[in-house]
A and B are shown apart, each in its own frame.
Chain A
Amino acid sequence: MYALETIDIVKRYANHLALNKVSISVPQQSIFGLLGPNGAGKTSLIRIINQITAPDEGKVLFSGMPLNASHSSIVGYLPEERGLYKKMKVGEQAMYLAQLKGVEKQVARKRLQMWFEMFEIDSWWNKKVEELSKGMQQKVQFIVTVIHEPEILIFDEPFSGFDPVNVKLLKAEILRLRDQGSTILFSTHNMESVEELCDHIALIHSSEKILDGTVEEIKRGYRSHTFELQLSNLKGPVSSIIPEGFELLTEKTNHYNETLIRIKSKEVVHPNDLIQAMIPHAGIVSFNEVLPSMNDIFIEKVQQK
């Protein structure tokens, strides 16, 4: 059972196609990364899931049920274009937004107090939003996104505008929320965070989904048979000892006379075969296969199109 599915979503604007039959499936209690260059259609898809706009074709399912108005209370949404009423007090505003999500006044107050303590911002309750720094406002914004304890959390570019300390805090919170049972969908450009957080990803480019799967699967699918070896006691120059069919990419020797090499094969090679071939020529200090980073895959896929 998927927590969230979109099936063949099509969205047209006056003179361009924003989404062309995009289907994604987000498993329960997982973190799903929605990737793609600027203008690919990520925000359009997210707005459709949030019922802010309607698709021209296709449907959205929440736990197998077609999307309806009552779903807005089980979704927490942090848009890319986000902000707060500047003249309103922090506490008052958080209460208001929580109640709009359908949380009872008393419950909202209790939960907010808990979150404010956790983020160490309880002294801001009576401050006006305009008195806070941008990073502080983002914390408040995050709290009001999760205050109704939604089953599904949707973050559009959640890390933009946060400093590294707050990015770390936010990542920890996202993981904690997932572990507590929430399903999280987020869009980002930040590939580092994708590798760190995501279980699944989908790559959208020019209105179409061009790639999806688990991060592990995709990386394996894009393996380039590249290996990194740290060698000692070489019995000859590096170029002479690497097996047939391998191309030497880089070579570097350190102070301890160990050489770090990166080699790539054109064909599928079993690691054991490579190690066996290397043993007669050098001592192997470390060995690992280099999987492409999500960043590489992203750039490769986008440029292919």
Chain B
Amino acid sequence: MHKILLILEREYLTRVKKMSFIVMTFLGPLLMAALMIVPILLATLQDVGQKKIAVRDETGWFKGKFESGENMEFILVDGSMEEEKKRVLDKTYDALVNIPLSQFNVQGQAEIFSTRQIPMNLKSLTRSILKTELENKKLLSAGIDPQLIREARTDVNIMTIQLEEDGSETKSFTEVQYGLGIFSSILIYFFIFLFGAQVMRGVIEEKTNRIVEVIVSSVKPFELMMGKILGIALVGLTQFVLWVVLTAGVYGGFALIFGNDLAMANATTGQLLQQNTEITQSATQAMAGQVFEVIASIDFGIIIFSFLFYFIGGYLLYAALFAAIGSAVDNEADTQQFMLPVSLPLILGIVVSNFVVNNPDGPVAFWMSMIPLTSPIIMMVRIPFGVPYYELILSMVLLVAGFIFTTWLAAKIYRTGILMYGKKVTYKELWKWLRYPG
């Protein structure tokens, strides 16, 4: 045990001290934060200062319909096209909305002139105003009161409520569970591949350096393998935790500095959303409320615990197999033939997870969340939707059993493989190694 710790320590320290680890650890969160912040900042940047927009309305229908806001000031103008265009060119206005009488009336056409790219939401705002007005006019000419139509328009909002056996009810909002499930399963998938491959490379390195026989004269091959697997697991966890902390830190820092901008950007985006989709204020609030209610109702304790369990369990299960592959080959190029059967269940898991979110309690979902090779991915997709405790416990027990089995299997291949040089290994050969005694 003491020796496993020594090995673990070396594996951990040599990796954590590497330049590439430090760079990845700090660059990762910056990239993540950039991914969240940059689009918002871009949206904010466009709205710097108030834009002057001239509206040349030939129809005379739009007096007072264009309401000036924080970002845009609307001025009704009635000069000739040539005059007004000139004013756009000499920057009196930032843009000119032209509503020609005949074309608009018949074909619903209007124009926006500007010297530069127009603000993103000007076009949609204009379209929305013109559309409503034109529709109203048409309705009126047909003898229908537009107010009637507006009142008849109804937003239907469906609440999904999960009935529990004890009679209690939980509001659910599938999108939230969907997002949580897919996100955590993809994280697990990458973690297994990324750090499993590191285990494999570590084993190959020891083999090609010819140090492995020196070490196995002091420790058992199994101890060497486990020390490496556990050491790299700690490297992975360290990186993951640092990423979470740093991403939160970077994002929080940005939010503090650009707090107002961010809030404003969010507000304008919200406004836009409203205008475009014509969701009423109350519906939006109801939806947001529902999302929060659902988030509050999700048992994050279970999710975080299971995430960590499947995160580590899945890694351990596969890391042993990756170690076995590494021991059987002389260099990384030879790993291909063995990589396929090991990566297949993982890839299958990710593919199937897209179906599982639609039917998280179906037989496919059930079986694939029991089989240890796919359960770390599939069970994580299911958990946010709620999984009966006995299923969860069974799946976890099976995962532990699977991990013990693959480790036992891998150890048998490993202890023969690491001492085997310059031999092209086949599956038949591996089968023989499994049956060597001691």
Contacts and interface: CB of A to CB of B under 8 A. Distances in A.
B210 A52 contact: no
A85 interface: yes
Given A50-B217, A52-B217, A85 B6 contact: no
B218 A84 contact: no
Nearest to B432: A14
Most buried by A among B10, B213, B217, B220: B217
B211 A101 contact: no
Interface in A62-80: 69, 72-73, 75, 77-79
Interface in B181-212: 205-206, 209-211
Given A50-B217, A77-B217, A81-B210, 15 more contacts: A52-B419, A53-B415, A54-B437, A54-B438, A72-B218, A78-B214, A79-B213, A79-B214, A83-B209, A83-B211, A84-B209, A85-B211, A97-B214, A99-B6, A102-B218
Interface of B: 3, 6-7, 10, 14, 205-206, 209-211, 213-221, 415, 419, 421, 432, 436-438
A176 interface: no
A284 B405 CA distance: 79
B428 to A, nearest CB: 10
A127 interface: no
A56 B437 contact: yes
A69 B223 CA distance: 13
A291 B7 CA distance: 52
Contacts of B10: 96
A285 to B, nearest CB: 53
Interface string A124-163: 0000000000000000010011000000000000000000
A47 to B, nearest CB: 7
Interface residues of A, number: 33
Nearest to B10: A96
A208 to B, nearest CB: 21
A211 interface: no
B413 to A, nearest CB: 14
B214 A75 contact: no
Contacts of A54: 437-438
Contacts of B3: 100
Nearest to B224: A100
A141 B211 CA distance: 10
A14 to B, nearest CB: 5
B8 to A, nearest CB: 12
B419 A47 contact: yes
Contacts of B209: 83-86
Nearest to B211: A83
B215 A100 contact: yes
B437 to A, nearest CB: 6
